[in-house]
Structure 1
């Protein structure tokens, strides 16, 4: 059935699930099933992964999808805003080049005028010296000065015009780079279609699901609460950037932390068999080649040379690239594009048949270069088969090996008296290819996709004609689209932002946005509101005076919901006033974490220490180190505050070293608190009224036997 006769169904993007990298998009299309059941659903992006396309019928169990395939259509594109931006950039580039050319010519003129010097006339040896008139020197100097003044004035104007053009070009280039990639970037618009085969009748709605690269996201939040309240509202937002080639307008967006390219294959346990070795069973989709396949094209090859038009001959001569290889020489690779896959030489010595063929064929042997005149049934020398070797040469090699399709000798084309053609000289020995694996071939999944296999005709090489090969050609345009889309993964993150895979840890989470959103395909960050989450919180002040004599404000957050809160930036708003932007740590369901708000200048702390050293024991064989600590707090705020003061005492693993504490501090309980404390941490919890002060006294005594002297001397802080 021709593609023009296949009905087209327009589709609309309905939902998108953005993963850590990449996205899964869902499109909906509606229509009436045609009699033959084949329809073309348009609107798919050029950067989509063809292997990820799935289709199903929504809400009607009587109709089902039996086949879905991807096809690419090309048609002239209408000039739009994207094309106008490109034309503006090209116009400014031409204008910049013209101004730079005028400026270069003007600089050359200025250099010529600057180098003007008076040149005295040549004189003979017997001629007397002549005086140079001063008026001539002054006239030349005035001319140079006037000329340079005029030229420098024009140069200043050109410099100003060049700066203006460069500024406009920079702005236009920025607008062009930030524009949506949904519009085509060339005069020919390529459209990806999904060809569906439906089994059933009636009006149905079809859902297409496919994966695209070029989409990333990072969590962001906004916390709002009141002073003295024990709860707050956390607005979960996401920074989303995508360059998939289609604008997400009014779609349902979901965010996931999973890896879209994670492995999904299951491990297989092989059987252990004791006894004689048995051949591995062949794949169920493989069949032996039919008998007599080599004789199928004998009459086609014996028909003589194919007539060609003059235009075709010129095209072949223009595009043909000879294979630079002599008899007995090693294979020389064909020239190929930068970044392309390496091109294999045609029919290497001892190489097995092309992979993927359903019917096998004879293994080609070493052959000399083929004759220049093409045979009837052989293609012109210009086109190359998928492997990269010219078809005519590979076909001639197969003929020389198998004997099928050789041209009949003609008396008119051979000189009289000429004997039989000379024997083919042997090819010099080269690297021996590995022997083919015994047993039936093991085709891949693409080679077992029978609907995508193409029967090679008589114009193909001898090893391919009459056999089935995967017909999906390599699409460099789609690869380039996917490469451009993947560049969004290198986009710099916003401040305090963390990649979802890093903050989620070993768990995967999904978040569904409460309302449809718009995200254009411009590769920049856009904010999407996901949901509003209630959180429990309390304000505490923390200070570690032994490290820094400063009090820090903190928020102790508790997550009572069933979904995790990933690490990211949070905008803190207190009593409708913006406070600051902080970094929210990852908060698991039911977890409690502390978030810093920065120094609190309204609460002051001072720490003083005193150390005394003495001896004890019957023979003064014990060193006593008495440490005393005094911490003073002052609350300058107009509200009461709760301050947590952290100190640290030494820890020892020596049984002879004794430590005695003299303070009312407590050992923190890590199971109940939001933080994990280091060994030896001690905590004071102080409630200060508005304008109040407090003094905390503590200390500890270390008793060290004389035999337990410190290595390197008695060095203590």
Structure 2
């Protein structure tokens, strides 16, 4: 065991923030910093985004983080221990195939017995006619009938056995599909770790933060109410599904509606030029290579060649890794100097790189660009491993585009000639020729600072010590991320709405009060977040012109400073479950109504009367007098408030007049609720216990004779 492998810190997942799609995980690790300052923190998932790694020291300590990078190790297991669910599925598959073959053989045998027919011998031309042996025919028919009876009875048994095995096979396949993905391969154990470099010695606690895809959530609610009370309990719950490759056991869960992949770069306004085109040079940090760069490696070359190591090829989850002495691991680079001036500034409130603003120009062939930056006391951005001449763990192969050198000034120097391809590397493409004069014009890949990698001393003279775009592609990690992101296509629960659709243009965060467990099985799990104070009042509503039934409703007011997102709500009244309905998005201070169904204790009756007449000097105006009579009768034990909705005609013709004769009012639209239709009128009646009241209203429609309808003015 090397000194590098000896200094390992185990980490524990402490908290997770689930966004609209994806999550940010936070791990804690404690230990004593070795003299070399390099520590390998294990426990990271395979599907993590390597460019989102952040490391910082928690608490008060003299130790500070100066570098953090992601490395993947693969080791073959000594004893092959296959997964129990997979082994059970394979056993049932073989048993199902055997049962199906037995059933098929029985069907073939039944077909052969059914085809038995008596065949008379061939008759010659001179032979007389022979009598048919009826007894032989009957014996054959009895034999076939008896044989088919036994065969069909056996066929029924085989089909029942086949159906039983098929049911067990489907059940095992469903269990395997729903099983947690937080398991290692049966033959190769892959370990994703963060190599953290510290400045100082002593005990320290480091916090690792990284982003993972494959996590989604939707809100859900549970409303408890007692009749007659003006308050209730609204419990916010969340349905969370994740397939990140690690089980969230005993973690603090927080929910956010933000989008991790939203753009955060600011727009820039370009100038408009009239006349000859004069493009302004794009400012960049590109500098020509410094002179004497090759002299920095004179001591390394003088030490002689590195000792050879016997290696063998091993397939680690789809990609080759280097194996030495029975163990497989990624090459460990020596400590590198911190690179100042190439990383993007990191703020405490900004999202991790790769989940926030994209780089100026994305690196070709890299879906998840890696990030590196200068050391800092609070945070250290992730630094990709030094490219080595040996293949990386997971089968990553690096491609070498045109070189880019660090920190210098002046004009662009011509690029070095292409170096020969090292073993396990793709052949580099030809370097683009630099302009003979003028400002430097690096390619888009050379300006993608988040994807640049500093080449080590083992590279050729034209590449060592210089920055190159890392166009490596890890098919294993890509497959893990593809499987993780499959949870985004899960069917939503009833009445559920995606948080990005219900949150609108604002982002909200909800923190759970207690720790929770969410396995990595790709199915929905309900987690209780906390209780939300709300104001409730019971109201009764009826629209007698549509239906002569009174409905009970709960007017729910959001008394918090956060919005309530749309989602399903389970309503419980007096400790009895009533229904599950949809709750719309409620802004702070917003009010909505939740229907509870018909109120059998209140009766409503509506009668109408229409009288048609004429008015004017020559009876040129038709008057349609509508009368509405509504009666309400309460059989409840307490006083209630009933809203009765009616409607009056709406006209856009100035000659047609509508005169109302009632004490109703025009209802006001609720904030965030469905607006009332034009012409809606409302009575608000306070109905005592066991009381009866009557409401009278009406309106007149005056239509000039020139506006009369063809065929008369009859109204129903």
Give the structure-2-normalised TM-score. 0.76
Q: Take 1:27 and 1:712, find their aligned partners in 2: how far apart are those partners?
A: 81
Out of 650-659 and 691-700, give the one that drifted further: 650-659
Do the aligned residues in 2 keep the contact of 1:354 with 1:463 (CA within 8 Å)?
Answer: no
What is residue 267 of structure 1 aligned with on the other side?
Answer: 267
Do the aligned residues in 1 keep the contact of 2:400 with 2:469 (CA within 8 Å)?
Answer: no
Aligned counterparts, 1:20-99, within 5 A? 20-60=20-60, 62-76=62-76, 83-99=83-99
- TM-superposed CA distance for 1:82, in Å, is 8.4
Aligned counterparts, 1:316-335, within 5 A? none
What is residue 236 of structure 1 aligned with on the other side?
Answer: 236
- TM-superposed CA distance for 1:533, in Å, is 2.0
Residues 83 and 716 of structure 1: is their aligned pair in 2 closer, same or farther, counting only changes over 3 Å? farther
Do the aligned residues in 2 keep the contact of 1:82 with 1:183 (CA within 8 Å)?
Answer: no
SS in 2 for 1:488: helix
What is residue 443 of structure 1 aligned with on the other side?
Answer: 445
Aligned counterparts, 1:41-190, within 5 A? 41-60=41-60, 62-76=62-76, 83-190=83-190
Residues 149 and 78 of structure 1: is their aligned pair in 2 closer, same or farther, counting only changes over 3 Å? farther
What is residue 303 of structure 1 aligned with on the other side?
Answer: none
Deviations 1:489-538 (A, max 9, x none): 22222222222122222211111111111111112222211111221111
- TM-superposed CA distance for 1:206, in Å, is 0.9
SS in 1 for 2:547: coil
SS in 2 for 1:10: strand
Residues 676 and 276 of structure 1: is their aligned pair in 2 closer, same or farther, counting only changes over 3 Å? closer
- TM-superposed CA distance for 1:357, in Å, is 3.2
Do the aligned residues in 2 keep the contact of 1:6 with 1:38 (CA within 8 Å)?
Answer: no
- TM-superposed CA distance for 1:378, in Å, is 8.2
Do the aligned residues in 2 keep the contact of 1:219 with 1:237 (CA within 8 Å)?
Answer: yes
What is residue 350 of structure 1 aligned with on the other side?
Answer: none
Residues 454 and 609 of structure 1: is their aligned pair in 2 closer, same or farther, counting only changes over 3 Å? farther
Q: Take 1:13 and 1:696, find their aligned partners in 2: how far apart are those partners?
A: 65
Greater CA radius of gyration, 1 or 2? Answer: 1
Deviations 1:223-282 (A, max 9, x none): 223221211221222222211111111111111111121112222344667888467367
What is residue 583 of structure 1 aligned with on the other side?
Answer: 582
Q: Take 1:196 and 1:291, find their aligned partners in 2: how far apart are those partners?
A: 31
Out of 254-263 and 123-132, give the one that drifted further: 123-132
What is residue 534 of structure 1 aligned with on the other side?
Answer: 533
What is residue 19 of structure 1 aligned with on the other side?
Answer: 19
Q: Take 1:178 and 1:488, find their aligned partners in 2: how far apart are those partners?
A: 12
Deviations 1:22-71 (A, max 9, x none): 11111111112222222111111111112211111112363322222111
Do the aligned residues in 1 keep the contact of 2:446 with 2:468 (CA within 8 Å)?
Answer: no
Residues 113 and 633 of structure 1: is their aligned pair in 2 closer, same or farther, counting only changes over 3 Å? same
Give the structure-1-normalised TM-score. 0.76
What is residue 280 of structure 1 aligned with on the other side?
Answer: 281
What is residue 708 of structure 1 aligned with on the other side?
Answer: 707
- TM-superposed CA distance for 1:456, in Å, is 8.6
SS in 1 for 2:197: strand
Out of 470-479 and 71-80, give the one that drifted further: 71-80
Do the aligned residues in 1 keep the contact of 2:592 with 2:670 (CA within 8 Å)?
Answer: no
What is residue 650 of structure 2 aligned with on the other side?
Answer: 651
Q: Take 2:282 and 2:624, find their aligned partners in 1: how far apart are those partners?
A: 81
Residues 479 and 696 of structure 1: is their aligned pair in 2 closer, same or farther, counting only changes over 3 Å? same
Out of 269-278 and 642-651, give the one that drifted further: 269-278
Q: Take 2:283 and 2:715, find their aligned partners in 1: how far apart are those partners?
A: 77
SS in 2 for 1:482: helix
Q: Take 1:39 and 1:465, find their aligned partners in 2: how far apart are those partners?
A: 26
Q: Take 2:656 and 2:629, find their aligned partners in 1: how far apart are those partners?
A: 25
Do the aligned residues in 1 keep the contact of 2:219 with 2:499 (CA within 8 Å)?
Answer: yes
- TM-superposed CA distance for 1:699, in Å, is 0.4
What is residue 618 of structure 1 aligned with on the other side?
Answer: 617
Q: Take 2:82 and 2:566, find their aligned partners in 1: how far apart are those partners?
A: 37
Find out whether 1:632 has 2:631 as its counterpart: yes
SS in 1 for 2:571: strand
- TM-superposed CA distance for 1:688, in Å, is 2.1
Q: Take 1:286 and 1:63, find their aligned partners in 2: how far apart are those partners?
A: 33
Out of 152-161 and 703-712, give the one that drifted further: 703-712
Find out whether 1:358 has 2:412 as its counterpart: no
Find out whether 1:227 has 2:273 as its counterpart: no
Aligned counterparts, 1:309-320, within 5 A? none
Q: Take 1:2 and 1:283, find their aligned partners in 2: how far apart are those partners?
A: 42
Tell me, which stretches of 5 or more residues in structure 1 are unaligned? 294-310, 313-339, 342-352, 365-376, 399-436
Tell me, which stretches of 5 or more residues in structure 2 are unaligned? 295-311, 314-364, 367-398, 406-413, 431-438
- TM-superposed CA distance for 1:626, in Å, is 0.9
- TM-superposed CA distance for 1:445, in Å, is 5.8
Do the aligned residues in 1 keep the contact of 2:4 with 2:39 (CA within 8 Å)?
Answer: no
Q: Take 1:290 and 1:152, find their aligned partners in 2: how far apart are those partners?
A: 92
What is residue 333 of structure 1 aligned with on the other side?
Answer: none
Do the aligned residues in 1 keep the contact of 2:516 with 2:527 (CA within 8 Å)?
Answer: yes
- TM-superposed CA distance for 1:695, in Å, is 1.9
Q: Take 1:497 and 1:671, find their aligned partners in 2: how far apart are those partners?
A: 23
Residues 41 and 378 of structure 1: is their aligned pair in 2 closer, same or farther, counting only changes over 3 Å? closer
Q: Take 2:111 and 2:290, find their aligned partners in 1: how far apart are those partners?
A: 80
- TM-superposed CA distance for 1:625, in Å, is 1.1
Aligned counterparts, 1:455-466, within 5 A? none
Do the aligned residues in 2 keep the contact of 1:593 with 1:675 (CA within 8 Å)?
Answer: no
Find out whether 1:567 has 2:569 as its counterpart: no
Do the aligned residues in 1 keep the contact of 2:632 with 2:692 (CA within 8 Å)?
Answer: yes
SS in 2 for 1:254: strand
SS in 1 for 2:14: strand
State the aligned residue count: 601
